[in-house]
Each structure stands twice: as C-alpha cells, then as structure tokens.
Amino acid sequence: MEIRNITVEDYDKVINVLNEWWGGRQMTHLLPRLFFEHFQPTSFIVEENGHLSAFIIGFVSQSDPNQAYIHFVGVHPKLRKNGVARKLYELFFEQVRILGCNKVHCITSPINKGSIAYHKSMGFSVSLAPDYEGIGQDRILFSKDI
Amino acid sequence: MEIRNITVEDYDKVINVLNEWWGGRQMTHLLPRLFFEHFQPTSFIVEENGHLSAFIIGFVSQSDPNQAYIHFVGVHPKLRKNGVARKLYELFFEQVRILGCNKVHCITSPINKGSIAYHKSMGFSVSLAPDYEGIGQDRILFSKDI
C-alpha cells in the first residue's frame, strides 16, 4: 500500500470509478478537476500495485486558516472496513495541524447513514443543517477538534 | 454600487439566481456552499440598493501559492457590458497579488463563446484542453500573468 499526495494525473483514474464506488449515484459533478490542481498538499491517494485503493481531498480554509475542510473521501468497495479511511483522515489531520489548523469540517447528505455513523465513530460532532445547499437540500455537518 | 467580500449569508441569494443568469442552464451544482465558507478573502459581491448585481468566487492555489484560480463570475443579465465584471476581475487580481500570486487561471466550456471572447479581451491566453473534466468534457483554459 502506497500513500502519496494527489496529482492532476490522478484525476481520470478517480473520476472513472467515482460513481461506481458510490453505488451508482452520480457524483462526478461534485469533484471537478480544480480540486486535483489546487489542493495537492492536503489531498492524498492510496494505491496497491498501481491500482487505486482510496483517496482523500481536502484543503485549509482561506477564510479561517485554523480550519480545514474535507471535500471527498473514497475507498474501493472491496477494501472497506480495513482501516484505510481512518489512515487517510489521520494523515489529513496531521498535515493540516502542521499548517496551523485545529478544527476539521466536512458534510454529507442525510441519506448517507453509513457516513454519519462513520464520522461519529471518528469523534466528529454531528448536526443537521436544513436547506444548507439551497431549498430542500439539507446536509449533515461534521466537525472535530484536532 | 457596493463591493464587499462575500459571506455565507450570500449563498442563498446567489444560488437562487444562478441558473437564470446562465440563461436557464443548470449551474447550481457547480457552486457548492463550501466556496462561500472557505474562500471569502478572494471572493466579492456587488450589490445595488441591497440587490445582487454581480459576484466573483476565487482562491489562491494551495499547490502553487503563486497561482490563483477564479471559479465563478456572474453578472446580472441587465447589468452586462457596463464594466462591472472588469471591476471584479481587477479587484481579484489586486487581492491575490497582495497574497503573493503572479498568475491567474480559469476555465469554461467550449460552448461559452461569449466567455472566450471576454477573457481574450481581458488579456487571458486561451487554449483548448480535450477531455479535461473526463471523457468528452473538453474545456477552454484561460491564464494571465498579473
């Protein structure tokens, strides 16, 4: 298992599996290439023999440099529940702490019960934000002191 | 005309007009709330008597802090061709220069002939990137030294 910072060359391999890893949901529009271009220092990819195993995409907030935001985390469906996501979150926490952050945020849709349970188990606080992304677009907000 | 940094409270008013300002195209999925949360120092809004006139959303690249990226620029259809967009670009250039940038990037779809002509007139270089956002998703890349 190799973990390294993400590059623009990783964009196609991630985008090609994204909908499949999310059980067929259309997700690719949520992950434009700009995230691979501009947030490399805090975004990581895991590969096994050259095959994509997992990735995390996040950045330091430019509104409040003490805060960091995780935009996307994906793990190959066959590699779930083996600790690779935890490893990526911990690597992200470590990296953004070095950059001066003491809080991490992320969000999900209320439908993602698995994500909500997972973030609780990782020590994130959880709250519901009605109409967060527009009318009828509720989101679950996670945050954690690091 | 009042120009100020964007806040999270501006999210709803921008998202509510976005598709309309883009001639009915579905655009809201391209502008999640995270841009209003985390890129306030380099994102601006123009209002006239409390009504939204225009906005620009951009950030400093965290991969290369000499580069900045403009994600979205919108002007009320009735206020186009009066220089408000130019004012926002110039304000963005000024702000990211203060933050250490000497180059600005942005992209559009090849269908946006108006955007391509506009960026040329603003001194951006223009190139076509086939499959930039995935297979069949060509983009026009703009860049400009500032």
- Same domain for B117 and B77: no
- Final residue of a domain: which of B101, B116, B135? B101
Asked whether the predicted pLDDT for residue B135 surpasses 90, the reply is no
CATH of the domain at B71: 3.40.630.30
Task: Give pLDDT, residue A81.
Answer: 85
Task: Give pLDDT, residue B81.
Answer: 85
CB pair distance less than 8 Å for A63 and B132 = no
- Same domain for B88 and B111: no
Residue A1 banded pLDDT, cuts 50, 70, 90:
confident
Write down the ipTM of this complex: 0.94
How far is it, in rounded angstroms, from Cα A67 to Cα A144? 10
- Same domain for A109 and A90: no
Section B117-137 average pLDDT: 95
The residues that bridge with B40 in the sheet, in sequence order, are none
Asked whether the predicted pLDDT for residue B16 surpasses 90, the reply is yes
- Final residue of a domain: which of A84, A101, A118? A101
Contacts of A34 in chain B (CB under 8 A): 69, 71
Asked whether the predicted pLDDT for residue B1 surpasses 90, the reply is no
Contacts of B95 in chain A (CB under 8 A): none
Residue B6 banded pLDDT, cuts 50, 70, 90:
very high
Identity of the residue numbered B105 = H
- Same domain for A113 and A129: yes
H-helix or E-strand containing A97? helix A84-98
Query: Which residue in B33, B40, B71 is closest to A133 by CB distance?
Result: B33
- Same domain for A122 and A66: no
Section A135-142 average pLDDT: 95
Query: Which residue in A38, A60, A132 is closest to B63 by CB distance?
Result: A38
pTM over 0.90: yes
Measured in angstroms, the CA of A94 and the nearest CA of chain B are apart by 17
Query: For chain A, which residues lie within 8 Å of any Cβ of chain B, measuring from their own Cβ?
Result: 12, 15-16, 28-30, 32-34, 37-42, 59-63, 67, 69, 71, 132-134
A15 is in which domain, residue-wise? 1-101
If one counts the domains in chain B, the total is 2
Classified as helix, coil or strand, B120 is helix
Identity of the residue numbered A84 = V
Q: What are phi and psi of A68, to 5 degrees?
A: -125, 160
Could you tell me which of A35, A25, A48, A44 has the C-alpha nearest to residue A108? A25
- Same domain for B28 and B83: yes
Q: What is the pLDDT of residues A60-96, one digit of tens each?
A: 999 999 999 999 999 999 998 889 999 999 999 999 9
Q: What is the pLDDT of residues B60-104, one digit of tens each?
A: 999 999 999 999 999 999 998 889 999 999 999 999 999 999 999
